[in-house]
Structure 1
Amino acid sequence: MSSAIAILEYALACLKNLPKRPCLNVKDVVVANTIIDVLHQVEYADTTIEIVDGFEQFDDDVKDPDYNPEDEEARVPLYETLPGQPNVVQFAAGKFVSKEKVDEAVAFYSSMDGYHNNGAKKRPTLETMKRRFRFIEDRNHLHKLQQIETTGEYKTNRIQNLRFIADRLGEIVEEHLRKGSIMHDDTLRFFVAKIIASHNLDIQFTPSKSWLNDWKRAHRISSRKITKFVSVVRHQSKKELEDQANDFVEKVNDVLAVRAPSTVWNADQSGFQLIMHTARTHARTGSKRVECVVPTVAATTHSLTVTVLASAAGELHPKLYVQLKEPGGKFPRKGHFTADNLYVTCGQSHIMTKKHAVLFYKNMLFHSSMPNDTVFVCDSWAGWIDDTARDSVMPSGYNVKKMVIPAGCTGMVQPCDVGIFGAFKKVVKRIFGHAQLEHPKYKMHTRDPTLRMLALVYWQFQSPKLVAWIQYAWHASGYDVGRPPVFLSPSEQLFPPDVAQKCSKPTCRNISFITCLYCEEYYCFSDFVISHHKCC
């Protein structure tokens, strides 16, 4: 019996209270007890699962020799003896000729002046063409040259273009692996678009998911997952928490039954690292250690706090509350970047205090755009629970009904937590990843670039196209707001599969990485983030 099976049988026997258990050594007993402890935590504690992505590389890993980089439109075998060549025309089986050489042959074939008695144009003989251009073998090839001369069009070999793209993509990815860049499938699509543009390839091609999967398998690029259980110790069982959450949702639904959804708002805080990156990147299969480069390691742990206000009607507050950490709790004399859709404050820590709760109430909850009779759904943070902070700045004529989510239930019934912050951070990570890849000298983690980026992302989130997404956050939390129509997530709309194309700015030759939800144009990093795109 293997050690792993014996450990599992020992753990199972303990869970079933069986008297007969496999005999284990001390080390294996520790492992079995750990497994038992994890299972108990899953059953009785408020447990979350963290996914940590890593890669391994083995010495005998080699490139798959059978890989063919064709796509669904061209499922034919490649000529394995030939390397990928860009913009080539096939004249015979296994014989490919560059567009430049074909142009030269067409020009020579049409260079003679005069006509024969039958009206046909005078042209070099087949023997002359064969001596000068080795790829010409018969009159069919001459006829092909004549067709190209007449129409000005010739079809380059798609398979060879695809093979060239696959080979060049391998070189680019290899270079970025050495640099420690973070890469994903969308990054690979961006690289492919750059390859096509930079080499003027005569091909319309956007890599499909299956094409990318085939390419990654051929180049031994993949990932594996390690699951780590993190237990949050609580004195309540999972069932008790679920009952409390359901009771709270019923109370809010009673309110929603008699009030307009636009008067019911949820506020929640979330910490954002100054450099946000995904836990996954493309790397060589079998890599035992994967190191990625960031501008400063400290920025991956230092944070800012973002607070979102979202209504049950699918609206976002006109402003995003942002709290930064600044020395002495004060901004520098030169100030900071400002935007109409940001309210920015600071403290000695990025963590909000009751003093900052007062600022939030004054500038966010009691903003002129908010209804004067509001239901405020919040968690059990001390700043929300203490009514004195709210009452000290509440204008006359305003009424606020506070409904506090029970402790331990926010992950189940808090709309901002359930459906908004995850998508928010996903978009931010995509932007950070692209900045690190294409603009490594742009200091995205510093104060003003960070605020610029947050203002841009929040402005996109305020688009009417994302109302259904916000409503779904309430629906998914159990509230009676009606199931919204089918929608695409913010990431799916901002970064569609075909996002890597020529930037929409006429004078720009860069490849786009994002699309604006307002003007629906595609923009590169420089024209969207650095230039702070604002079309309306």
Structure 2
Amino acid sequence: TYFSNSGYSIHDVDLQIMALNINRANNYVTRFKQKCRLGSRRVTKFVSKKNFVNDAKIKKEADEFVAGIKQEMKTRPFNTICNADQSGFLKELHSKRSLAPIGQKTVIRIVQSTASLTHSYTVMPLVFTDGSMGDYLFVVLQEPGGHFLQCVFTPSTPSSDLLILLDSWTSFRDKSAIDSSLPPGKLLNTRQIPAGATGICQPLDTHAFKNYPEFVAFQRDNILKLISLSFRILRAPQFQPMIQYAWFAAGYLDSPPPSRFRTPVEYCFPRTVHSKSCHSVGCPSMSFILCPLCDHTYCFKCYVVDYHTC
């Protein structure tokens, strides 16, 4: 328990060495694991030793940051408080495992492009405390520049004075650069999430954006078309409670959404979706997705290839 709580990886061989040192029988390791309810688990997160040792300090800073933001939320409408965060995705998603004959040492599978397995694109969404998303999604494929603030302030933005939570990324800490890029008459109040605390108090990390990679894993097509379709789906009213839950999970809201919500995968890909026909007139194909905007089912060609809009 000491080694596990200290962040060190422990395996059966380590227990066997300990057992030899105290002259135990060969089955000591098995009985010890059963008694202590220990099992081999996949490591879900790697952290630096500095962050592991300073875990209590980071948690304290995160709690203080959340408390400060909650005070500001008392004087602001929820649709003027937002969070932005960048996240990278491989251009082509693939499974690292496949069924193959037992004993086969080399397993080769086909992909559209081997370069896409190592090259990625970056997206940066904007989520508001009321559960809505920004009108635009900032996307960087390979171009060197871009204008994210044009994605923040749009004609439908409810206020010219916004409060935004950002992580400690170098570019986000450059307040003068952000202010100089703002459209005339716009005010963006930035609040920096403490370093190492994004997993605790950043809504896009706690829940909201975890559903994006799960959702796009079901689809393969041109990158920009895929991103656009996925973004339109995530902005559907059905998923506003999901975004609100992310703010609750990060500690900014005192209570979760009143009703249980379904994730995009649960809503768009129910078990019965493949047994229904495509809603498009004259299309004989079976459906593969349920559109959350019009509540009709469509086949892959009609929805993705032909770019369904409703």
Query: 2:111 aligns to what?
Result: 294
CA apart distance, 1:279: 4.7
Aligned to 1:468: 241
Match of 1:487 among 250, 258, 261: 261
Size of the aligned set, in residue pairs, is: 280
Residue 9 of structure 1: how far off its partner (Å): 5.1
Bigger Rg over Cα: 1
Distance 1:21 1:265, change over 3 A: same
Say whether residues 1:477 and 2:250 are aligned partners: yes
Query: SS in structure 2 opposite 1:403?
Result: strand
Q: Percent identity?
A: 31
Indicate how the Cα distance of structure 1 residues 317 and 285 shifts in structure 2: closer, same or farther if over 3 A, else same: farther
Q: CA deviation at 1:309?
A: 0.4
Name the TM-score, length of structure 1 as normaliser.
0.49
1:516 is aligned to 2:291: yes
Match in the other structure for 1:407: 195
Distance 2:49 2:193 in 1: 16
Aligned to 2:42: 227
CA distance in 1, matches of 2:12, 2:138: 52
> What amino acid is the match of 1:227?
R
Is the Cα–Cα contact under 8 Å of residues 122 and 139 in structure 2 kept in the other structure?
Answer: yes
1:250-289 equivalence runs, <5 A: 250-279=67-96, 283=99
CA contact (8 A) 1:268 1:379 kept: yes
Report what 2:28 is aligned to: none
Q: What per-residue deviation string (whole Å, max 9, x for no partner) do you get for residues 245-277 of structure 1?
A: 111111111111221111110000000111123
Shift, 1:242, TM fit: 1.6
3-state SS of paired residue (1:304): strand
- Residue from 114, 124, 135 that aligns with 1:307: 124
C-alpha distance after superposition, 1:44-97 (max 9, x if no partner): xxxxxxxxxxxxxxxxxxxxxxxxxxxxxxxxxxxxxxxxxxxxxxxxxxxxxx
The one-letter amino acid paired with 1:431 is: Q
In the alignment, is the contact (CA less than 8 A) between 2:179 and 2:188 conserved in 1?
Answer: no
Matches within 5 A, 1:7-406: 7-8=14-15, 10=17, 21-22=21-22, 227-228=42-43, 231-236=46-51, 237-279=54-96, 283=99, 291-325=108-142, 346-347=143-144, 356=146, 359-361=147-149, 363-370=150-157, 371-406=159-194
Helix, strand or coil at the partner of 1:487:
coil
CA contact (8 A) 1:515 1:521 kept: yes
Per-residue CA distance 1:502-530 (angstroms, 9 max, x = gap)? 22223222221111111211111111000
Q: Report if the CA contact (8 A) 2:85-2:204 is conserved.
A: yes
1:526 aligned to 2:301? yes
2:14 and 2:49 map into 1 onto residues whose CA distance is 28
User: Which of 274, 279, 288 is the aligned partner of 1:504?
Assistant: 279
Per the TM alignment, residue 228 of structure 1 is displaced from its structure 2 partner at its CA by 4.4
Q: Distance in 1 between matches of 2:121 and 2:17?
A: 46
Q: What is the DSSP-based 3-state SS (H/G/I as helix, E as strand, rest coil) of the residue aligned with 2:85? A: strand
Q: Give the CA deviation at 1:317.
A: 0.4
Q: Following the alignment from structure 1 to structure 2, what is the Cα–Cα distance between the partners of residues 386 and 266?
A: 17
Q: Distance in 2 between matches of 1:463 and 1:10?
A: 56
Distance in 2 (alpha carbons) for counterparts of 1:229 and 1:474: 23
Residues 254 and 279 of structure 1, relative CA distance in 2, 3 Å threshold: farther
Note closer, same or farther for the CA distance 1:410–1:230 as it changes in structure 2 (3 Å cut): closer
Quote the RMSD (CA, aligned, Å): 2.7
Q: Which runs of 4+ in 1 moved over 6 A?
A: none
Given the superposition, is the C-alpha separation of residues 321 and 6 from structure 1 closer, same or farther in structure 2, using an over 3 Å criterion? closer
Q: What TM-score do the two structures reach when normalised by structure 2?
A: 0.82
Distance 1:420 1:277 in 2: 23
Cα offset, 1:10, TM superposition: 3.8
- Asked if the contact 2:239/2:264 (under 8 Å) is kept, the reply is yes
Query: CA distance change for structure 1 residues 21 and 402 in 2, over 3 Å: closer, same or farther?
Result: same
SS at match of 2:209: helix
Looking at structure 1, the residues matched to 224 and 100 of structure 2 have their Cα atoms a distance apart, in angstroms, of 35
